[in-house]
Amino acid sequence: MPGNLKKIKQMPSLYQGVVNALKEAIIAGRYHSGEALPSEMELASQLGVSRPVVREALRALQSSGFVEIRRGIKGGAFVGDATRLGLGDNLADLIRLRRVTVAHLYQVRSHLEPEVCRLAALNASQEQLQKISEMLDEYRAADSDDQRVTLNARFHRLIARACGNPLYGLIMDSIMDFTEGFVRTIKPRGHLIHDDEEHVDILQALLARDAERAERLMRGHAESIDREMHSLEQTYLRIKDENAGV
């Protein structure tokens, strides 16, 4: 039987505190897929909150796929199947649960992003290309790593939005949300997991409407990112687990 959960410290949203506590307990392996969580009354007592707060937190965890609510005599809150978690914010959770790896992410990205870049070379408007160019100027002028991380990710987001397929844009946003968080967590010094000039070369291919070159350059770019992220994956997981007190 897993040990009791710690009481929630006062924070702007008590229910979010309960969400965080239960997610961390599941990620740490204290509760396993298909296992019943303590009752609402027990959780409220352990965490020092009211039952309505626990109920709201369980609904939020259900919507994200972490928890399954079953009705009936044998009902209650059960740990969900982590392999069915949605993408979005849950990509980082899936990686921390060791159900998805950086290698899995690269396999998807290596097929997706070169095609996104090829389409952007064909479909991007002049206004969209101008925004990408201005973003790179802003990146060069950035005076903090935090700014550079944000702008680095925005480069990929802007290309995806310029490709002409909004679904690609949504998927790339999810991938870049995780990638941005990954880089902020490990805080690499002196560079941001790839050569900055790679973005410049990609932009030149987009401006020239050279779809084949844009696709080839983005494929190589994705490969260089994967090498760095793969080498830092265990560091990322260790830091995230330490920060969560796992």
**In this predicted model, what pLDDT tens digit does every residue of 226-238 receive, in sequence order?**
888 888 888 888 8
Percent of the chain topping pLDDT 70: 89
Contact 57, 22 (CB under 8 A): yes
Task: Give pLDDT, residue 245.
Answer: 64
**In this predicted model, what pLDDT tens digit does every residue of 178-204 receive, in sequence order?**
888 888 888 755 455 677 789 999 999
The DSSP bridge partners found for residue 36 are 78
**In this predicted model, what pLDDT tens digit does every residue of 1-16 receive, in sequence order?**
566 777 766 555 888 8
Q: How many helices (DSSP H) and strands (DSSP E) are in the chain? A: 10, 2
Length of the chain: 246
At residue 115 the predicted structure's pLDDT band, cuts being 50, 70 and 90, is very high
Residue 122 has pLDDT above 80, yes or no: yes
At residue 63 the predicted structure's pLDDT band, cuts being 50, 70 and 90, is confident
Placement of tokens 């490990």 in the chain = 186
Q: What are all long-range contacts of 12-19, with beta carbons under 8 Å and residues at least 24 apart?
A: 14/49, 14/53, 15/49, 15/53, 15/56, 15/57, 15/60, 16/57, 17/47, 17/49, 18/43, 18/47, 18/49, 18/53, 18/54, 18/56, 18/57, 19/57, 19/60, 19/61
Residue 89 has pLDDT above 60, yes or no: no
Lowest mean pLDDT among 22-31, 61-70, 202-211: 61-70
More confident residue, 87 or 66: 66
More confident residue, 90 or 23: 23
Tokens of 97: 């649960």
Question: Would you call 23 helix, strand, or coil by DSSP?
Answer: helix
**In this predicted model, what pLDDT tens digit does every residue of 127-148 receive, in sequence order?**
999 999 999 999 989 888 888 8
Task: Give pLDDT, residue 60.
Answer: 87
Contact 159, 214 (CB under 8 A): no
Residue 174 has pLDDT above 90, yes or no: no
Mean pLDDT confidence for 112-125: 98
Task: Give pLDDT, residue 68.
Answer: 85
The chain-wide mean pLDDT, for the chain, equals 86
Mean pLDDT confidence for 18-24: 90
Task: Give pLDDT, residue 47.
Answer: 92
**Residue 70: enclosing H or E segment and its boundaries?**
strand 67-70
Task: Give pLDDT, residue 164.
Answer: 96
Lowest mean pLDDT among 31-40, 94-103, 113-122: 94-103
Torsion of CA 160, 164, 169, 170, to 10 degrees: 180
Task: Give pLDDT, residue 190.
Answer: 47
At residue 215 the predicted structure's pLDDT band, cuts being 50, 70 and 90, is very high
